[in-house]
Structure formats: structure tokens, C-alpha cells
Structure 1
Amino acid sequence: FTQKYKITQDKINAIITMSYLNPILDKTSKDDVLALSFTPNTLKIQNLEVFINNKKANIEKLDDEYLKYIIQNNYTDYFKVSLPNVKEETKLVTKICLDHLPCFELNFQKYPKSLYYRSEDVDTQYN
């Protein structure tokens, strides 16, 4: 559920990480939700655009509701990237455009929560 991309260009050294959060969220979301992180947090971001399957996504600072789902450190900036969920889409192709740098893609396969997490109301042993 996580992809990373390394930037080493124009005196910039950074790691960009994106995680697909929907399968691990406590509550079902009507949006596809991804966490986007930039390390180090000293990276000056002036223009950031993210497209999911060629549609412009919403970007905002990642709040506490979603921060609990990721491993955090003091040297990283975190953003929430979201777009209304389209059930028929099984893949998420994210295109990230950052300042003057070339755009790059990170790809995700959409998986339902039920593939990984057993419902709390079911008490069945499977092994």
C-alpha cells in the first residue's frame, strides 16, 4: 500500500512516500484517501499538484484523524490526498507534480478492507 520516489536533482535530495489508506481506515470513506509525505521537511514546496487517474486531487495537511495510520517522524511533512471514490476503478495511477521538477507516477492497486481485516462481529478461527 506504499510507494516511494527519490528526488536527486538541482541540489535537492528528498524522499517522497505515498500510502493508500482506505483498506486500513476505521470508518469507510467515500473518497480514495492517500497519505503523501516529503522527507526532509525543509523541502520548500511552492507548487504541488496530484492527479489520480487523470483527475486533479484535493490536497491538504494530514490531520490527526489520518496521522494515526502512518509511522511519523519529526523530519517529514504529511499531506492528505483525496478524490471521490469510483468503484469501477481497480487501480490508482497517481501523478505528482512538484514545483519545477519533472512529474512522476506512483501506482496502487485498490483492495477492499475485507481482504485483510476480519470483521469484529465474526469470531471464527481460520487456521
Structure 2
Amino acid sequence: ALLQMRRLMDLLPASNTSEIPEIECYQSVTDHDMSLDRLIPDNANKPYDIKELILKVADEGDFFEIQASFARNIVTGFGRVEGRTVGFVANQPMVLAGVLDSDASRKAARFVRFCDCFSIPIVTFVDVPG
């Protein structure tokens, strides 16, 4: 638990008025990742794991998920893009086809409000039926 708290604190600013933490990014942002072309299936009825996309977008595949076992049809967490902390919010097609229910809506809204308090930018991935 202490290691997880240390990891979370490393991603957050010291206070709501502090700058967002930034580390040096060693991953190239100009290289094309061809595996992204194969991530989403051709058949719209076939689910895929959105966490794979988040891991490919986040620097060095480092993603810290928040409330992983609650409202699993939406994924929330922190990562870094080009060395700066960002919040990720994404529908999870593997669970309930990514449809939002009341628990998922509350989970996402709480996370977005938290990010807003610390001025953390949010990356949103949306893939839902309809």
C-alpha cells in the first residue's frame, strides 16, 4: 500500500497551486506505433481492452489506475504524456460494452473534479454503442 501511495504522490502536484510534476521523457513522440492499427477490431461488435491503448499512449507504458475494481466499464487513472502528468478517462468496451451506468458516471465525474482541482489535463477515450 505504501508503494502504491508513493507512486500516486509522484504523479500529483504538491498542492493545488503548484505546477504539474514533469519528468524527462525518453520515449520518442515522433515514432509511429504500428500496433495501434491492429488494436481496434474490424468488427464493431467485438470488444477490445482500452487499457492496451492507454498503455501505448502513456509514457513508457506507465499507467496508475484508480478504483480498478469499481465500475469497471470506465477506466480512470494517471499517467504521463511527454513527461507531464495527465488523467485518463476511457470507456471500457470489455465490460458492458463501455456503456455508462450510474456508478461509472459518478466514478468518472469524481475523477474529473479531482483533476480539475489540481489543473491536471485529461485525456479522454470514448467508444460506446450508439
User: Shorter-chain TM-score category?
Assistant: under 0.3
Structure having the higher helix fraction is 2
TM-score by length of 2: 0.27
Structure having the higher strand fraction is 1
> Which has the larger Rg?
1
TM-score by length of 1: 0.27
